[in-house]
Amino acid sequence: MATHAPMSPWSLVIPGEMMRELERHLFPGDGDEHGAVIAAGITSTPRGTRLLARELFLARDGQDYLPGTRGYRMLSASFIRDRIRHCRDEQLVYLAVHCHGGSDSVAFSATDMASHRRGYPALLDIAKGQPVGALVFARNAAAGDIWLTDGTQVPLSHTRVLGTPIRTLYPAPRPLPAHADPAYDRHTRLFGDRGQDVLAELKVGVIGAGGAGSLIIEQLARLGVGHLIIADPERIEITNLPRVAGSTRFDALTWLVRDGRPEWLRRIGKRFASPKVRIAARAARVANPAGKIEAIFGDITHAAVANRFVDCDYLFLAADSMQARLVFNALTHQYLIPGAQVGAKVQANKTTGEILDVFAVYRPVTPDLGCLWCNGLINSARLQDEAVSPEERQAQRYVDDPTIIAPSVITLNAIASAHAANDFLFNVTGLLRSTASSEYLRFLPASRDVRFDLPRQDLGCLECGAGAQSRRARGGLRALPTRQPHDR
């Protein structure tokens, strides 16, 4: 469980569908003021404190949202009472919401701030240790006033809306970047200096630095992503060299591990070969010397590793174990981090070697699309198999024998990774159209075919659903489904 003392800056993350519902309520076209309450999870890391919108309660005009005694409108006492108690019981942050006119700038009025000073100390007492706050929206702007448990106030720096495309709302328009890097001239001709600045401010996580992951990492670095965090527990092997971008024969110590060498010498070579994350980090630093690179030689299924990813702005899963899918899935929905799962597979007859199927997949995964559990992409039986130690697995001789190596080539990985990285680029820079498909893509190169699968969501899902027991937007209040590392 990732928890720290609250740190600045403070921000809010809202799923796209929730924001659409809120905007329909706040801006129905009558030019009037309307209200609501958001109940939010919370997580604090060295990058700041994020509020994670979990539930939306719309205030009915004339019943829950009334003419004010000191201001224009106000939430009714009963509506506030019921929502603050709910937030207290669920350990969520209470955020009162209303709207102002205008478009690109918004701020609380003097009357708003006076109302906060009168009411929020009492709300803090009821909330029992959770912050409380207020939000005010214009069409393309948002401001926030957050009251902490000691009575101090902090502003909301921005609100991130996980729609199509992803939007970031500020209290006022941001100034243009002071200096444009000429290296990105061709980029800025597509999405402008502002888009390049957005990329530079992002922290993006990549789980897996093998065939697909290494390509994604290099693409992200060359796009100018400012902060990359990479995790992979494996060292490079000689058979990985044709697929892992940036790898060399020196990394694999090929003169020690090639056929014909004594077994003891080959074991030494494998033991001291370069970790895949070290190769990926090296390639990323060459591509973007100004970027920050965190390379973790470890497994995302271990808590100490997974907790390093909770403050990412975007995630890529390029590891195919069920345990890795489980943790990625939880990160996406528990911390409201949009992401993508990529992979490629060649299915062959284990006896004859006949190729049965060849495909590459790219699956967008966001809090609104349904999770990997809902779509049958996490296999419980394989989770159990992977939960045992390597020695236990070998002793039990599972059918999916890890010693049987499946065919794999770099071009298959490139299909999936390029689509995932390009979708990320268009999404975060605002180029993705609001009508863009959210379907999973399956590429079948042998038939030059592309197939589409519409993701589904089970509202009762304990990962992404709307029920009280769901981990959705719980942030640091819920432990991730990690495990203890086996001794190596």
CATH number of 228's domain? 3.40.50.720
Q: What pLDDT sits at residue 405?
A: 64
Assess whether 89 and 229 both reside in one domain.
no
Has residue 398 got a pLDDT over 50? no
> Does residue 219 sit within a domain?
yes
For residue 134, give the CATH number of its domain. Answer: 3.40.140
Has residue 352 got a pLDDT over 90? no
Q: What pLDDT sits at residue 393?
A: 52
- The answer to whether the CB of 224 falls within 8 A of the CB of 199 is yes
Q: How far is CA 165 from the centre of its chain?
A: 14
Has residue 157 got a pLDDT over 50? yes
- Domain hosting 395: range is 183-234+275-453
> Does residue 251 sit within a domain?
no
Q: What pLDDT sits at residue 2?
A: 55
Has residue 5 got a pLDDT over 70? no
Averaged over 42-66, what is the pLDDT? Answer: 96
Assess whether 153 and 191 both reside in one domain.
no
Averaged over 404-411, what is the pLDDT? Answer: 80
> Does residue 468 sit within a domain?
no
| Total count of domains within the chain | 2
What whole-number distance in Å separates Cα of residue 78 and Cα of residue 74?
A: 12
Has residue 412 got a pLDDT over 90? yes
> Does residue 369 sit within a domain?
yes
> Does residue 227 sit within a domain?
yes
Instruction: Give the pLDDT confidence of 295-306 residue by residue, as tens digits.
Output: 999 999 999 999
Assess whether 134 and 197 both reside in one domain.
no
- Residue 351: pLDDT band (50, 70, 90) is confident
Q: 123 or 7, which is more confident?
A: 123
Q: What pLDDT sits at residue 25?
A: 98
> Does residue 176 sit within a domain?
no
> Does residue 485 sit within a domain?
no
Assess whether 165 and 187 both reside in one domain.
no
Has residue 399 got a pLDDT over 70? no
Q: What pLDDT sits at residue 3?
A: 56
Mean pLDDT in the chain?
92
With left for phi above 0 and alpha for psi between -120 and 50, is residue 397 left, alpha or beta? left
In the three-class reduction of DSSP (H, G, I as helix; E, B as strand; rest coil), residue 426 is classed as helix
Query: What predicted TM-score, i.e. pTM, was given to this entire model?
Result: 0.94
Assess whether 323 and 447 both reside in one domain.
yes
- The answer to whether the CB of 94 falls within 8 A of the CB of 37 is yes
Helices (H), 275-355: 276-287, 303-306, 322-334
Instruction: Give the pLDDT confidence of 251-310 residue by residue, as tens digits.
Output: 999 989 888 889 999 899 999 999 999 999 999 999 999 999 999 999 999 999 999 999
Give the containing element (helix H, strand E) for 186. Answer: helix 185-201
What whole-number distance in Å separates Cα of residue 361 and Cα of residue 244?
A: 18
Rounded to 5 degrees, φ, ψ at 264 are -65, -35
> Does residue 101 sit within a domain?
yes
Q: What pLDDT sits at residue 115?
A: 93
Position 186, amino acid: R
Averaged over 21-48, what is the pLDDT? Answer: 96
Q: What pLDDT sits at residue 395?
A: 52
Instruction: Give the pLDDT confidence of 176-208 residue by residue, as tens digits.
Output: 877 778 899 999 999 999 999 999 999 999 999
Assess whether 378 and 339 both reside in one domain.
yes
Assess whether 149 and 211 both reside in one domain.
no
Mutual orientation of helices 410-428 and 211-223 as an angle, nearest 10°? Answer: 40
**Whole-Å CA distances, 336 to 53, 143, 440:** 9, 20, 19
Assess whether 162 and 290 both reside in one domain.
no
Assess whether 220 and 151 both reside in one domain.
no
Assess whether 203 and 121 both reside in one domain.
no
Domain boundary among 169, 194, 217: 169
Assess whether 157 and 71 both reside in one domain.
yes
Instruction: Give the pLDDT confidence of 299-329 residue by residue, as tens digits.
Output: 999 999 999 999 999 999 999 899 999 999 9
Instruction: Give the pLDDT confidence of 419-459 residue by residue, as tens digits.
Output: 999 999 999 999 999 999 999 999 999 999 999 999 999 98
Question: Closest Cα partner for 407 from 353, 450, 458, 370?
Answer: 353
Assess whether 76 and 217 both reside in one domain.
no
Instruction: Give the pLDDT confidence of 88-136 residue by residue, as tens digits.
Output: 999 999 999 999 999 999 999 999 999 999 999 999 999 998 999 999 9
Domain boundary among 169, 197, 213: 169
